[in-house]
Structures are given as structure tokens and as C-alpha cells.
Structure 1
Amino acid sequence: MHILVLATLAASLTACAAQDRSATAESIAATAGLRRVVIKTGPFDLTAYVRVRDPAQPVVVYVEGDGAAWRSRSEPSQDPTPRHPMGLRLAGLDRSPNVAYLARPCQYSWGSACKVAYWTDRRFAEEVIAATSTALDQLKATGGFHLVGYSGGAAVAALAAARRSDVLSLRSVAGNLDSEGINRHHGVSAMPASLNPIDVAPRLAHLPQTHLVGGDDKVVPPFIAEDFVSRLGDKRCVTITRLPKASHDDGWESVWPAPIPICRSP
């Protein structure tokens, strides 16, 4: 009896937490005029918040971070939906005519493919990047895309950009641009089932890009972006912007939106 009561209570608390996180997202989106849609990509239903006022213009697409992926260093959560969705907050500050926000698999939308692996060791797996690319296809941006990725969302954005010809620029915010480098730095397990964005860096050398790093970021230290940039080869299209007082999840909204990057002349 006690076990049943505890299980019921735990389920109720989980449901309440999910409702609170969804309510937070809805509030942020409503203030910015973003409308919720669910994009079916095959294995995953990806939650998006979208505002399109001029379909002929590019769409600025924000990819959310890893969210509430872990309860502790060794215990994954049962729901990766972010408590404080920084990617959505940044999207809400963007006054471009066309803005879209993409949550990661199993954030806000649950489905049969939702397994813990997709917010832990498979969070950058081939099927995740393919689903993101499918979602971009369904946004139908005739003017192309400007991609923005926060934290782990930067890995997804970079990996998706490397396989598309319609991405016009890339901006990362506290971006995980070398997942294996971060794992080594923190002494956690490698992710052999995931793709690593630093491996596709040379294919992005032509793409205008800005990487914003926090001087006080203990989760994704600035050297991660520096290592990524060192792999690009040609540096004319890339800048690193360092915010000395920014941490991993604080200090970004005050400087947003960051300018869309351009390539420098030879």
C-alpha cells in the first residue's frame, strides 16, 4: 500500500512539474507572438514556437539546450523539458519578422521514441540531427535560415548546418561545440552513439558564425569554442565574443539579440 501511494504521489508531482514547464514556455511565447506547433519528423514530434510574418525572408531558428536532462551527475531525469528555457527566452527577444524555436526531442512533446538515451548519450545521434533537419524542411523558409543554438542546441545546430545548403549563418550561445572535449573536461563518459560538432567544423568554415562564450561558464568553458574555431581553417567568417561575467545560464539575455554574423573580406 505504501509503495502504491508513493508511486502515485511521484507520478502526480511529475505531471505537475511538466505542466509548470509548459506553462512557462507558453507565457514566454505568447509575449513574443510565437505560436506553438508540433512538427512530426518521423521518430520524434518536435515542439516548435513560430512567428512568420514574411515567408520570403529568412527564418531565425533557435535550438534549445539539453534542458533538465540530469537529476544528478549520475542519474538522468525522466523528463528533459527545460525548467528555464534559455533558447526560447532568446527567441522571444528577437524582433526579426520570422522567428522559430525548436525544442529538442522529448521536451514538451512525448512519444514512443522517447527513451532516456535521447537526452543522455544519444542526444546528438544521427536520428536526432536528421529529425532537426526534417523540422527545418517543414518550416519551408524560402529565404533560408539563420541558426542559433544554446548549449547542447549549438551542437545540434552546427551538425544540421553542415549538411544543408540553405543555412545563412550560425550563432552559438554557451555552445557545446565539442561534446567529447566537454566530457573529457568533466570526467564523464564518452558518447560513441552521438555525433560531435567539432568533427564537421571544416565543412562550416565558409559559414558566417559567431560563438558567444561566458567567462564564468563552468559547464562549457570558453576553450571549447576556441578549439572548434581552430578546426575551421579559414577564420574570415568566424568571431568569438566573450562575456566576462556570463555563466552558462545567466548573462545572455542582456546582450540579445547578438548581430547576425558576416564574413570579413580577405
Structure 2
Amino acid sequence: MTFGGRIFAAIACVIAMFGIAGCVTVDRNAHADALGARAHLQRETLRTGMFALTAYSRITRNDAPIHVYIEGDGFAWVSRSEPSLDPTPREATALALAAADSSPNVVYLARPCQFTPMADNPRCDMRYWTGARFSPDVVASMNEAMDAIASRAPGRGVDVIGYSGGGAIAVLLAARRRDVRSLRTVAGNLGSEYVNRIHDVSPMPASLDPIDAAASLGELPQLHFTSDADRVVPPAVAQRFAGAAGTRCARVRVVADIAHDGDWARAWPALLRIPVTCNGD
């Protein structure tokens, strides 16, 4: 198995000792639409050469930078050995972060095969949310979507924020682009091989490892949020990445008592106010 986020926590119901006969079904699209609506984020589809990607956006000024939020791995695995048939996240943590951001220009970008119907995504395959979820194909598709997003405020740049596995994608995008002003990650998987070793799961030879891009980002202002309560991506992952990137511009902030899939959105407005700068700037 490859590292797929939460183990067993994605099971929708408990039948065993409590004698529960049915499951509670979560409408993941309705949940996301409600989150977006509260923050005036409008749902749209961004079509790339490989995938149709779901986004939620609010662009109110073309003279301001754009905050781009990238979702985590979602409901990638049903159990340690069984991949999900649909990686659409149940909680959409990165969308909740975007909804908590009051900046004038905010865009949320789902990962390939999340939210968008499979019929509209004929190239979707389980490998793109399991062993190949950080593959060059995935990064290229996300980068195409970023081009479309950045064109809505030309020349103003983008601030990229990635949650969990979206942190890996955020790093890989930042390493390829010249319009990224800053990088933030939240509980980010910033070293996929290292995280897989922690959990004693299989390597992902079809995926890129974000830590390999760390050195190329040494001059990019970045702040990596992690928690002492995170048992999925512990603080050592962010600290290891920051060491590889260099401490002049890469900083780690360890917060207290937020689990990997905890309520990061509640803390986000305060965390977002922390300046992201390089030492001496």
C-alpha cells in the first residue's frame, strides 16, 4: 500500500458492537458547495490536457495577488489495502481553509479526480490518487490550472497554500513557476518517501518527492505549519524539509493540539496573519 492519508478513519459507519444497521451517507459535493457558498466562492471546472479539475474561486480585485489553496489526498483509501473508488474528500480541509481566508482573491483547487464526475474525467485511474498522486502528469495538470488562475490577476503573483498531500503538490508547483510569491503548507506531506517509511508502507516510484525540490526553493519565503498532535505527518517532516531548503527563507511553526484532520480552519485566520518572509527582509 502507498501512504493514503487516514487509515480506517474514512469508513463511513460503524456496525459492529453498537448494532447499527445502516450508514450515514455524506454528500461530499453538497458539503463542499455549502462551504464555498458561505465564503462567496463559486464552483467551476478548469479543463487541462489531462484532467478536468474542480475549483472554487472568489476574484474581486485584479490588482492583488491570488491565494491558491490545494486540497489534500482526500478519501484515497478505504483501508490499508483497499483503494477508494472516489478520492473526493469528505471534509475538504483545504476548502475550509480557503473559506476562512478574507483576502480579495481566493481560489481553491481540488486534486485530479476529486469532485469532478468520473464520466467527465476519462483519464482518471486509481493510480492518480494512490501511487502516482504526485506524478509528473498530475503536477503538469495542476500547473495548467494554475496558469488559468494566475491570468485573472496578471502580474500580481500567487501565494500557494497546500494541505497534507496538497502541500507536496504546492512545493512541486512552486519549484516550476516564477510567479509564486510565497509558500505555506498545513500538515504538509513534504517528504513522501520519508512519510511512507514512518508508516511502513510501500514507496511510490511513479511519484515525485517534494523534498527533492527543497533546495531549489531556498530563496522563496515559506512557512510550514505542523502540529504536535499530528500522528500522520509529524513535525519532523516539515523540519526535515526546512533543513533541506535552508533556514533563511523556510520556517516551521509547530502549533498545539490539532490532529492531522483536525479543525485547522478555526486556527487559520490567526495563522494566516503570520508574516512569511526571509531572514533579514
With structure 2 as the length reference, what TM-score do the two structures score?
A: 0.86
8 Å contact from structure 1 (residues 62, 101) kept in 2: yes
CA deviations over 1:133-159 (Å, ceiling 9, x no partner): 100101113211000000000000100
CA deviations over 1:51-92 (Å, ceiling 9, x no partner): 000122110000000000000011100000000000000000
- In the alignment, the residues of structure 2 paired with residue 83 and residue 252 of structure 1 have an alpha-carbon distance, to the nearest angstrom, of 15
The amino acid that maps onto 1:217 is D
Correspondence for 2:229 among 216, 221, 232? 216
Q: Secondary structure at the match of 1:54?
A: coil
- In the alignment, the residues of structure 2 paired with residue 17 and residue 130 of structure 1 have an alpha-carbon distance, to the nearest angstrom, of 34
8 Å contact from structure 1 (residues 245, 251) kept in 2: no
Correspondence for 2:176 among 163, 178, 200? 163
Does residue 101 of structure 2 align to residue 94 of structure 1? yes
Pairwise mapping of residues 17-36 of structure 1 onto structure 2 (< 5 A)? 20-36=27-43
- In the alignment, the residues of structure 2 paired with residue 256 and residue 250 of structure 1 have an alpha-carbon distance, to the nearest angstrom, of 12
Correspondence for 2:135 among 101, 125, 130? 125
Query: Higher helix share goes to which structure?
Result: 1
The amino acid that maps onto 1:22 is N
Which residue is equivalent to 2:280? 265
Q: Secondary structure at the match of 2:56?
A: strand
How big is the shift at 1:244? 2.1
Q: Secondary structure at the match of 1:212?
A: strand
CA deviations over 1:107-156 (Å, ceiling 9, x no partner): 00131011000000000000111111100101113211000000000000
Q: Which runs of 4+ in 1 moved over 4 A?
A: none
- In the alignment, the residues of structure 2 paired with residue 17 and residue 79 of structure 1 have an alpha-carbon distance, to the nearest angstrom, of 14
Which residue is equivalent to 2:3? none
How big is the shift at 1:254? 2.4
Identical positions, percent: 49
How big is the shift at 1:17? 5.4
5+ unaligned residues in a row in structure 1: which ranges? 1-15
Aligned residue-pair number: 249
Pairwise mapping of residues 66-215 of structure 1 onto structure 2 (< 5 A)? 66-109=73-116, 110=118, 111-139=121-149, 140=151, 141-142=153-154, 143-215=156-228
How big is the shift at 1:186? 0.3
Which residue is equivalent to 1:241? 253
Correspondence for 1:54 among 30, 48, 61? 61
- In the alignment, the residues of structure 1 paired with residue 236 and residue 159 of structure 2 have an alpha-carbon distance, to the nearest angstrom, of 24
After superposition, the CA RMSD in angstroms is: 1.3
Which residue is equivalent to 2:18? none
- In the alignment, the residues of structure 2 paired with residue 189 and residue 31 of structure 1 have an alpha-carbon distance, to the nearest angstrom, of 40
Which residue is equivalent to 2:17? none
- In the alignment, the residues of structure 1 paired with residue 234 and residue 40 of structure 2 have an alpha-carbon distance, to the nearest angstrom, of 33
Which residue is equivalent to 1:5? none
With structure 1 as the length reference, what TM-score do the two structures score?
A: 0.91
CA deviations over 1:165-207 (Å, ceiling 9, x no partner): 0000000000000000000110000000000000000011111
Q: Secondary structure at the match of 1:216?
A: coil
- In the alignment, the residues of structure 2 paired with residue 57 and residue 135 of structure 1 have an alpha-carbon distance, to the nearest angstrom, of 19
